[in-house]
A = this chain, B = another copy of it.
Amino acid sequence: VLVKRPHGIPQPGDFEVRNASIERPFTAPLVVRNKFLSVDPAQRGYVNDENSYLPPVPLGGVMRAMAIGEVIHSVDPRYAEGDHLFGWFGWQDYCVTDSASVLRKLNPAHGPLTLNLGVLGINGMTAYLALYGIGAPRAGETIVISAAAGALGSVVGQLARQAGCHVVGIAGDDDKCRVATTRYGYHAAVNYKSAVPLPEQLKAACPRGIDMYFDNTGGWILDEVLLLMNRHGRVIGCGTVAIPSWLPQPQGPRQEREILMRRLRMQGFVIFDHQHLFDETAARLAGLIEQGVLLYDEDIEDGLESAPAALAGLYQGNNRGKKIIRLAPGISTS
């Protein structure tokens, strides 16, 4: 439950675990037992008093989160007891809700349940739909991806490599850079915290300039990448984790002249606009996993009470792969 309105990055003290009971027989149209909770950078926007694409979680309200849960009661003929659903079920053990919270019913043939939070969830689907929908990659083009080894970046990197691009990652430590190149197919990866300035590293890694930038960070990293973009380049805006707080409005170099002179196209992408494509996209990605050409990593922690610190840790780059909270330790992932 959110108990304090955070400024900037939400911290563990902004949340409390509270007990409540659900009366039986169930009167709500849908009740699910959560098994896995998602931890996502976008959750910051759900709790801050900043303009977001959703109204902020009220103080005293259950933290908004995507989760995977099993149906234990349903009046909707599409969802039967025992089905697993992906939806807006919150950071809680049980969700008493209705069908409007459901994002999709999971296909057990697609592998372990947890995949549906990351590589087959909003991360994989964002990678797929934003890269192809906005980026329209062409073989031989150079793409730079920030948060390169994260749950989203790792999928973008692999898909871009398969599209024939020269793929360069940006990450915040050498280990993530190594994972990007050895595991996720990046041609090169640069550490923005290194002693060598980022522009210098990027110039060396992108000898033909940059045609696409898949931006998960915003901020000064975006500023530096823009100055290396080729004409008619595309910037896919998917996240702003490099900005610690949007209140007050942070300042930066004006970009309108670079956008004009370089004829750039900069476009924001929010996966929830594309819900009609979720099933189809998850099936495509599941096919790539089955063929062994799409790798993923998960970083699973146990217990509802660990969720707030896991969220704060995302902004420090602590996670390795998709951050997931497992409820009731010992639940099988299959």
Which chain A residues have a beta carbon within 8 Å of chain B's beta carbons?
45, 50-53, 215, 218-219, 222, 232, 237-240, 243, 246, 249-270, 273
Question: Shortest Cβ distance from A275 into chain B, in angstroms?
Answer: 14
Q: When the two chains form the complex, which single residue of B52, B239, B252, B262 contacts A251, counting CB atoms closer than 8 Å?
A: B252
Question: Shortest Cβ distance from A55 into chain B, in angstroms?
Answer: 13
A254 touches B265 (CB 8 A): no
Given the complex, which residues of B lie within 8 Å of A237, measured CB to CB? 256, 259-260
Given A265-B265, A265-B267: A254 in contact with B251 (beta carbons within 8 A): yes
Q: When the two chains form the complex, which single residue of B255, B261, B268 contacts A263, counting CB atoms closer than 8 Å?
A: B268
Docked complex Cα distance between A222 and B266 (Å): 15
Docked complex Cα distance between A265 and B258 (Å): 15
Question: Shortest Cβ distance from A63 into chain B, in angstroms?
Answer: 20
B251 touches A259 (CB 8 A): no
Question: Shortest Cβ distance from A225 into chain B, in angstroms?
Answer: 12
A243 touches B239 (CB 8 A): no
Docked complex Cα distance between A268 and B263 (Å): 4
Given the complex, which residues of B lie within 8 Å of A267, measured CB to CB? 259, 263-266
B260 touches A270 (CB 8 A): yes
Q: When the two chains form the complex, which single residue of B52, B215, B255, B259 contacts A261, counting CB atoms closer than 8 Å?
A: B52
Given the complex, which residues of B lie within 8 Å of A253, measured CB to CB? 249-252
B243 touches A260 (CB 8 A): no
B239 touches A260 (CB 8 A): yes
A257 touches B246 (CB 8 A): yes
Given A253-B251, A254-B250: A261 in contact with B219 (beta carbons within 8 A): no
Question: Shortest Cβ distance from A125 into chain B, in angstroms?
Answer: 16
A268 touches B273 (CB 8 A): no
Docked complex Cα distance between A246 and B239 (Å): 27
B266 touches A243 (CB 8 A): no
